[in-house]
Amino acid sequence: MIIRPEQPADAAAIRRVLEAAFPGPAEAGLVEDLRADGDIAIALVVEDGADIVGHVTFSPMAAPFRALGLGPVAVAPARQGAGIGASLIREGLAAAGAAGWQGVFVLGDPAYYRRFGFDPALASGFTSPYAGPHLMALALGVPLPVTTGQVDYAPAFGRLG
């Protein structure tokens, strides 16, 4: 099993993983829209033999510092619970830090994302359509340069049904 950057030839397999991992096609469409809009900074897959079994996307955000939005992250249902999603997130966060991104936001379950260092309190000073207890932030390497301001996900997120 290896983690590597997604390649154009992976698109159909990525779509299958996303459609299997989520209750509908919205997340698969979101990833395709982000890709088409040029709004993917980091996209990784987990390859097991010839199969893609996991995927994560990080997209640039409009923010008062260099920030990414994490998500969606998906793992094939038969492979969930084996640490694949966590490995994708950790690898993506390491790549984001190495590329000079200053912070990452995620909208999700605090019980899950806190283990990676995400904190709802760190996001609480930011204005966003997604503001609330499920919006979390993580500083990469150093404290965030500011702790207030407007943050917006890539436009494709606003088109989610």
Q: What's the confidence (pLDDT) of residue 141? A: 87
Percentage, residues of the chain above pLDDT 90: 94
Query: Measuring CA to CA, which residue among 126, 69, 68 is closest to residue 100?
Result: 68
- The domain total for the chain is 1
pLDDT digits (tens, 9 = 90+) for 90-112: 999 999 999 999 999 999 999 99
Find out whether the peptide bond into 143 is cis, omega within 30 degrees of 0: no
Q: Is the pLDDT of residue 160 over 90?
A: no
Domain at 100, CATH number: 3.40.630.30
Per the prediction, the chain carries an average pLDDT of 96
Question: What domain range is 100 assigned to?
Answer: 2-158
Query: Using H for helix, E for strand and C for coil, what is the string for 80-101?
Result: CCCCHHHHHHHHHHHHHHHCCC
Q: Is the pLDDT of residue 127 over 70?
A: yes
